[in-house]
Structure formats: C-alpha cells, structure tokens
Chains A and B, each alone.
Chain A
Amino acid sequence: MQAEVGVKRGFLRRGMLAACALAAGATGFDASRAVAADEVNVYSTRQEYLISPFLDRFSEETGVKVNVVFIKEGLIERLKAEGKNTPADVVLTVGVENLAALKGDDLLQPIRSDVVDANIPASFRDPGGEWTGLTTRARVIYFAKDRVDPAELSTYEDLADPKWKGRICVRTGNHGYNVALVASLIAAHGEEKAEEIVRGIVANFARKPQGNDRAQVKAVKEGECDIAIGNTYYMGKMATNDEKPEEKEWAAATSIFFPNGDDRGTHVNISGAGLTKHAPHPKEGIALIEFLTGDEAQEMYARDNFEYPIKAGVALDPMVASWGELKPDTVNIEKIAELSPAAQKLIDRAGWQ
C-alpha cells in the first residue's frame, strides 16, 4: 500500500509540474504591442489566405513585414478593449456598415494620404477620411438560363411580383449582404414602401432561406428555384473551380442579371480598410493602405477575387467584364451603413428568416 501511494504521488506531482510548465511556456509566445520598426499589424475579417498574396507583394516591395490576425466577430470589441495599447495598425473588413461602426466607436483615425485620395473617388471614402473602400461587390440576380428569359427581369422591386411565386432562392435575412440590400431599398423608397416590397419578395421564396450564396446557385441549377440573389464574385469562383468541376456546372447553368440598371443602379457594397486610432506604426499602415489602392493590388483583387476594383483605369477580369456592365446604385454608400439596423428590423418584421 505504501509503495502504491508513493508511486501515485510521484505521478501526480510530475503531472502537476508538467501542467504548470506547459501553461507557463504557452504564455511565452506573447505578442504584446510590437514596436519594432518596419512592421505593420493587420486585423482582418477577410481570411488570411485570401489577403496574404497582396500582403506578400507589399512586403517584397517595401521590406515591411506584415503580421495578420483573422478575426471575424469581436473585432470591434477587441480593438476597444485593447485601447491605446492595441498592436493593430490597419483593419481590413467588408461591408460599409462595419467600417462605419469602427468609425462610430472612435477606433479609427484619418488616413492622411494624397495617394489614397487620388486612387479612390471620394464617394467610396469616409468624408472624414477614416476609412477607404478598396473594391466593390455587386449583389445581383442569378437566373436559370433554360427557364428564365432575361427580358422578364428588371429590378429588385420586381422580385415582389407574384409571377415569381415559388421561384426565388436566397440565403438568410440575418446575413449582412441581405441586410445591406434591404438598406438600399429603404434608401430608395422609405421604410414603409420597402417593407411592402420585402414582404412581396418573401412571399415568392421557393424555400425557407438557407445555405450560402453558392448554394442558391446550385439550387437554381438543380431546379429547386429559377432565380437567386447572390454576390457576383461567387460566379467567378465557381466558374473557375478546377478542383470541384460540379461548381462549374452550377455556374454554366446560370447567368447574371444586374438589377435596376435602368434606374438607380445595382446595389453594391464595399470592402475597405481603416487606420486604427492608436496605430503603433501609422507610417507603415498608411503605406499598406496606399499599396492596396494602387494599380497592382487593385488588379489582383479583380483577377484573383473577381471583385470590382475602385481605382479608375484598372481593368476588370475578362470574365467579370463578360457578365455585362455594372452600373452601381447612386445612393451614398454611407447611407447603407446608417440604415442597416433599420433594415434588420424590417427583415424581422417581414418574416425573412
């Protein structure tokens, strides 16, 4: 009995020691505010593998090392909690509503750069210069080539027409892309009329909102619905997916229609960047943002991600160009951010699950 207890005790003690050592060792790779020069720290809601080609090019050209952490939800709270000691210099995110929220919480500072001002038209920048757009993405209608005549399609408002009953697929109304779209309807029509339109669209859904944007296109291909609402770049990604050929089939079965091309234009949102208020490396941060608005990065956005570059004169990807001309909604982009909470409320009232 004595021996047994002795063995057990030794085991326990060694276990405890190992645990403490591990815990202590793990905290060793601490990344408290990095103040070394020639470095820039990025918090990004876009995945690391999507942005690292850009960041690598920037590092090659400038010799500035880029550290990235991909955070989706909680980015704002993290910046707030870190306060003036935040290691972050640059924030990359999508959706003007998210950029505006960062500004609203006083987490950004003006990007003072003639390069950015020259590259990006003022309509895609914060009036106070605290954030800038980098690309636009259009939310469009995908339609089944064999079952829908594009002449039938016209506007988002028209999707409320009973002729589309049981024919529309779309993802959940809780998603930011749909909230922004509804915000653009409120901007164009006022809340009351917008709600009527949304109720009409909801009544035409072929199924309970589900899946992501690609899944809607797949459902059109498979005949579950005839039209779907989705962002344009998924078409590019699906059409070029060599590893999953069935996605090419989904893309091939559908075409893109740009709604409201004849009136206010198609709803677009932006991806963008901001400089944090307490950036430890503001110079490098601005250099990075300037790079992202420049020709090379803008071409990469167009080519690799099938997005619409904002800088004038940068060519579209040939496939993106083949979908037709995008005429973006003329509404002030900040209006979308401002109306987002109202849009979410409207979506809930209208029963868009």
Chain B
Amino acid sequence: MIDLGQYAGTVLAAYGVSLALIAGLVWHTVAANARARRALQEFERNG
C-alpha cells in the first residue's frame, strides 16, 4: 500500500476529481456518438 503521508487527502482529492471529470467526458462522448449513429441509421433505414 502506498503511504501518501500527511497529504493523502490532497492527492486523492486531486486524482478523484480529475478521473471523475475525464470519465464523465469519455462517457458523454461515447454516448452522444452512439445516439447520433443510431438516429442516422434509423432515419436512413426508414426514410
């Protein structure tokens, strides 16, 4: 186990906030892309 010493809260907060923001961005990007692809395919199929 890594010992972060007296700044454990600081380091974990920085990593937590950053990784949450990146995960949110990646999720939003992938979800929006899937939605757009589905909508376009549906329209092209049904006319």
Chains A and B bind each other: no
